[in-house]
Amino acid sequence: MEPPRPTAPELLLRKPGTVTTAQVLMWLQFALTVCTGTVVGFVGLIVFGILPRLGSHGLDPMFSQVIAPIVTVIIVVAILYAVLANKLGAGRRWAQITTAVLMLLSIVGGAVSFNFGFKLGDSSGVPLETSGVFGSMPWLVMPVITLVCLCTGSANQWFRQGGLDPLRQGPPPTGPGQQYSPYVNG
């Protein structure tokens, strides 16, 4: 006797809650990235733009060349978060894979910032104080939850079916008597 063949899963008619959760977390990470970029940009502008003109020569002008690339990377990452959050809801498989890779990189970066301070001089590698630990928690926790949400069975089915694309129909028929679809109770 032959074992029964597995049937194809039914199409999802609604976006799974795990995909919605991943989308919300991606938008939150987008907002945090924009806030971080704004703070870094303003600090860079004040410290490297205004203070040297006021006669404070305590900082090396070489550091000002570091701020522009950092802000550029932050802007690119923020745009990437926004695009991925949008395309996750549309059920694009490439967005799921790209988000998973980005979240793995974020987890590694969050773990590094959780364990070590980024201080210059003799104190490099010193463990962070409590405020630094709690400050780095969102950068560690949100990617973990996002990754878990994207790896559930319903999320995989959502991306496998391509979101709601298989359920979309062509344009409504036009012609006399077919302007409105009949009302079906159910």
Domain ranges of the chain: 17-52+60-119+126-163
Which stretch of DSSP H or E encloses residue 28?
A: helix 17-45
**Alpha-carbon gap, residue 92 to 21, rounded angstroms:** 16
pLDDT band of 40, cuts 50, 70, 90: confident
What does the pLDDT read at residue 102?
93
Q: In the structure encoding, which two tokens stand for residue 165, read together?
A: 């694309």
Residue 164: which region, alpha, beta or left (left: phi > 0; alpha: psi -120 to 50)? alpha
Alpha carbon distances (Å) from 34 to 6, 58, 78: 46, 29, 6
Number of continuous H segments (helices) and E segments (strands) in the chain: 5, 0
**Alpha-carbon gap, residue 105 to 110, rounded angstroms:** 8
Q: What value does the mean pLDDT of the chain take?
A: 76
Question: pLDDT tens, 82-128?
Answer: 999 999 999 999 999 999 999 999 888 877 776 665 544 455 555 55
